[in-house]
Amino acid sequence: TQLLEQSPQFLSIQEGENLTVYCNSSSVFSSLQWYRQEPGEGPVLLVTVVTGGEVKKLKRLTFQFGDARKDSSLHITAAQPGDTGLYLCAGPPNSGNTPLVFGKGTRLSVIA
Amino acid sequence: GEEVAQTPKHLVRGEGQKAKLYCAPIKGHSYVFWYQQVLKNEFKFLISFQNENVFDETGMPKERFSAKCLPNSPCSLEIQATKLEDSAVYFCASSHRHDNSPLHFGNGTRLTVT
């Protein structure tokens, strides 16, 4: 069973459109991280959300952590081709020194 | 260095051959992690180190896989007698802490077992 479920698995949109991708779990996480991975490279951290209900903005990207700390969303406004990539959420499954578990990601393609 | 450096970028091995992958973490980071990314994008945790000591090896296959982080040397992940299902991209990451700390990833080693 996958601890972090991401949806949709694939998303293809036109430049300028808005989109939201989701990261859900039945477990509570002390924090969640979002990464973007481009082909041939390792994931790069975008943001960490820690507090339930927290909203963080990174230019056109808005990240939200659910009140119960079981889910998170990433909203992109006016998507650009440079946003293309694999978006991964990750978190420590238990409090304490446990390694991050990753969702399977949402593969986003933004067409010019 | 300022980046996690992984070598080689690509590695092709025949079934049954040995594969050895290397990782130089960011200077000053105490923790090193190895993850395996298979075709469906799933990241599987393998092992982590605190400096040269194994910290968590719950994800390491019991057979054929071993890893080391020795002082003044790159960390390494070795697979003895590779199998077709070992084909994957192996990522190394480093961080200051083991828990919520962000991971800094290298660009991976793509292992193809033929």
Q: What is the pLDDT of residue A95?
A: 62
**B87: pLDDT confidence band, cut at 50, 70 and 90?**
very high
Considering only residues A98 and B71, tell me which one the structure prediction assigns the higher pLDDT: B71
Tens-binned pLDDT, residue by residue, of chain A (112 aa): 678 999 999 999 999 999 999 999 999 999 999 999 999 999 999 999 999 999 999 999 999 999 999 999 999 999 999 999 999 999 987 766 678 899 999 999 999 9
Please return the burial class of A5, using the count of CB atoms within 10 Å of its CB with bins 0-12, 13-18 and 19+: middle
Q: What is the pLDDT of residue A23?
A: 98
- Tell whether B43 lies on the interface with A, counting CB pairs under 8 A: yes
Cis peptide before B61 (omega within 30 of 0): no
Q: What is the pLDDT of residue A99?
A: 85
Q: What is the pLDDT of residue B81?
A: 95
Q: What is the pLDDT of residue B60?
A: 95
Instruction: Write down the residue that tokens 């054929």 correspond to.
Output: B64
Q: Which of B89, B94, B77, B91 is nearest to B113 (CA)?
A: B89
Residues of B with Cβ-Cβ distance to A87 under 8 angstroms = none
Residues A104, B40: C-beta atoms closer than 8 Å: yes
Chain A closest-CA separation from residue B100 CA (Å): 7
**What's the pLDDT tens digit per position in B19-55?**
999 999 999 999 999 999 997 778 999 999 999 999 9
By Cβ distance, the residue of A33, A42, A97 closest to B102 is A33
How far apart (Å, rounded) are the C-alpha atoms in residues A104 and A107? 9
Cis peptide before B25 (omega within 30 of 0): no
Residues A50, B100: C-beta atoms closer than 8 Å: yes
**Which of A:12-51 have CB within 8 Å of B?**
30-31, 33, 40-45, 48, 50
The beta strands (E) that lie in chain A are given as 5-7, 10-14, 19-24, 32-37, 44-49, 55-58, 61-65, 71-76, 85-91, 101-102, 106-111
Contact (Cβ atoms closer than 8 angstroms) between residue A72 and residue A66: yes
Looking at residues B8-22, what average pLDDT do you find? 98
List of residues 6+ apart from A2 with CB closer than 8 A:
A103, A104
Output the CA torsion A41→A77→A69→B42 (10° steps): -30
Q: How many residues does chain B have?
A: 114
Considering only residues A1 and B73, tell me which one the structure prediction assigns the higher pLDDT: B73
Residues B33, A98: C-beta atoms closer than 8 Å: no
Q: What is the pLDDT of residue A93?
A: 78
**What's the pLDDT tens digit per position in B98-109?**
777 899 999 999
Q: What is the pLDDT of residue A31?
A: 92
Helix (H) or strand (E) holding A82: none
| Cβ-count burial B41-64 (b if 16+ within 10 Å, e if not) | bebebbbbbeeeeebbbebbeeee
Looking at residues B73-91, what average pLDDT do you find? 97
